[in-house]
Structure 1
Amino acid sequence: MITAAAAPELTTATILVAFAGVFLICFMKGAFGGGFAIVGIPLLSIVMDPVAAGGLLAPLFVAMDLYALRYWKPSTWSRPDLVLLLPGLVIGIGFGYLLFRFLDHRAIAIMMATITLIFVGLWFVGGGRVTIRPRSSPKAIAAGLTSGITTMVAHSGGPPLAMYLLPLGLGKEVYAGTTSLFFTVGNAIKAVPWLLLVRPAGNDWILMATCLLAIPSGVWLGWRIHERLDQRQLYRACYGLLVVTALKLLWDGASGYLG
């Protein structure tokens, strides 16, 4: 079982690196609606234990998501997809909590990375085209469930959700808005379990308060980039980020066994 992680020392380097990591995650939320938070975790892991980084980010995700909804308004949400996705998300977070406490999350990371790389590989083999496929209730439920598990275990719920949403060919605003609301719900639910698992100490809360200042500018800059991307560019960027996320998951899982 995960016990309380050691609070990071409040040095200038710790504050700057944590601020940069949160800014990067906020930028991703503004540009793509969320789902790629794991790209910022390596930065935080430079100055603190990865589990402590997860505990630091859990409540910050809620603040990021609520701010991002200023840009991803209800008109950008795909309600038919969210109705199918959200129940699985809630159940998946519950499963993820149990897995985090009792099972080896390194194996989960490796499995998720492998599936994601296969998904992206098939897209590249197919010529990198956006092939629109019909909505599928079983696929949506499976995506919500898997995303709930991986977002709880490794803050990496983006790949399962993207593997469901990208083939639907949603408009870029609807894709980002739907992703944003999905993770707003998920991050709000998982914040309490993460805080129970990690139990942040005094310095963690000070660092969280400092990192809050990165949220408005990070989300705004990401949103401005989103405005400049056309549909094809956005989808290419999302597939590219899936590769980065999968490789990070693969590294985390494999290095955990090797180390």
Structure 2
Amino acid sequence: MPAPSALAIALAGVFLIAFMKGAFGGGFAIVGIPLLSLAMDPIEAGALLAPLFIAMDVTALRHWRPSTWSRIDLMMLLPALVIGIALGYLALRDLDRHAVEIVMGVVTLVFAAMWFLGGGEIKPRPRSTFKAGLAGLSSGVTTMVAHSGGPPLAIYLLPLGLSKALYAGTTSLFFTVGNLLKAGPWLLLATPSKSVWLLMALCAPAVPVGVWAGWRLHERLDQRALYRACYAILVVTAAKLLWDGISGKLPS
């Protein structure tokens, strides 16, 4: 059995990630990673989360039904996501993951700063196949490398000015596909031990509770408040990516 402190930390991390899934459609798993890293190695945490992500996705799809999916955007995003996950798997094996974290952190901070400097208003922009492909590709790489595929996708979707339900539903389905694709590679990179499987089973009840609580928050937020929350989370996510990347580059 895991130590009570480790179980409490893991439950809190899984609940937080599931909450973000229910409220914003997913993509912000890195917000809960710092909690999990207090109890286990980050690679081990990735193996723990891989099956739990799928459980979160299945639960969230009860709320984010097909009427909340932007099919035109998903058709442009998903093919690039598949390629991005494949590249991310190679990056985990052969490339410097900290460099990827630093670049993604800087790009996300610049994007969020432009929104704040512009007065925090959403000015809908036309769709772009190129931007959608770049977002899907970048999201695939970062979700595989750092469990942080949210920022690239948000950088593409937020300026479109989608309704809050359409934004969350599209994001949810996008990461449902991504999490299904990356579960196998992650389990190959870090095969869970018996203790991790046990911890996973003990954390599973936090998934539906967290998704439901997040969805309730989504229902209470108006359009502007939801978008403000998304941008605020982007800043937190970018700061975490920068911290992980820079600290990983520093000599030990």
Quickly name the TM-score band, shorter chain normalised: over 0.9
Q: 1:197-232, CA deviations, whole angstroms, 9 ceiling, x for partnerless residues?
A: 011111010011111110111000100000010000
Match for residue 154 of structure 2?
162
Residue identity in the other structure for 2:19: F
Match for residue 247 of structure 1?
239
Structure 1 residue ranges, 4+ long, deviating more than 6 angstroms after superposition: none
- Between the aligned partners of 2:73 and 2:125, the Cα distance in structure 1 is 13
Considering only aligned residues, what root-mean-square deviation do their CA atoms show, in Å?
0.7
Residue identity in the other structure for 1:121: A
Deviation at 1:96, TM superposition (A): 0.3
Q: Does 1:213 align with 2:205?
A: yes
- Between the aligned partners of 1:56 and 1:107, the Cα distance in structure 2 is 24
Match for residue 108 of structure 2?
116
- Between the aligned partners of 1:14 and 1:39, the Cα distance in structure 2 is 18
- Between the aligned partners of 2:64 and 2:244, the Cα distance in structure 1 is 31
Q: Residues 25-40 of structure 1 correspond to what in structure 2 (within 5 A)?
A: 25-40=17-32
Deviation at 1:59, TM superposition (A): 1.1
Deviation at 1:42, TM superposition (A): 0.2
TM superposition score normalised by structure 2: 0.98
Deviation at 1:13, TM superposition (A): 0.7
Deviation at 1:55, TM superposition (A): 1.3
Q: Residues 202-241 of structure 1 correspond to what in structure 2 (within 5 A)?
A: 202-241=194-233
Report how many aligned residue pairs link the two structures.
Answer: 251
Residue identity in the other structure for 1:232: R
Residue identity in the other structure for 1:36: F
Deviation at 1:186, TM superposition (A): 0.1
SS in 2 for 1:134: coil
Residue identity in the other structure for 2:197: W
Unaligned runs of 5+ in 1: 1-8
Match for residue 61 of structure 1?
53
Determine which of 165, 169, 179 is the counterpart of 2:171: 179
SS in 1 for 2:168: helix
TM superposition score normalised by structure 1: 0.96
- Between the aligned partners of 1:224 and 1:199, the Cα distance in structure 2 is 35
Deviation at 1:58, TM superposition (A): 1.0
Match for residue 84 of structure 2?
92
- Between the aligned partners of 2:106 and 2:47, the Cα distance in structure 1 is 26
Q: 1:69-123, CA deviations, whole angstroms, 9 ceiling, x for partnerless residues?
A: 0000000000000000000000000000001000110000000000000000111
Q: 1:19-60, CA deviations, whole angstroms, 9 ceiling, x for partnerless residues?
A: 110000010001001011110000000011111111111111
Unaligned runs of 5+ in 2: none
Residue identity in the other structure for 1:212: A
Q: Does 1:137 align with 2:129?
A: yes
The percent identity for this pair of structures is: 68
- Between the aligned partners of 1:215 and 1:44, the Cα distance in structure 2 is 15
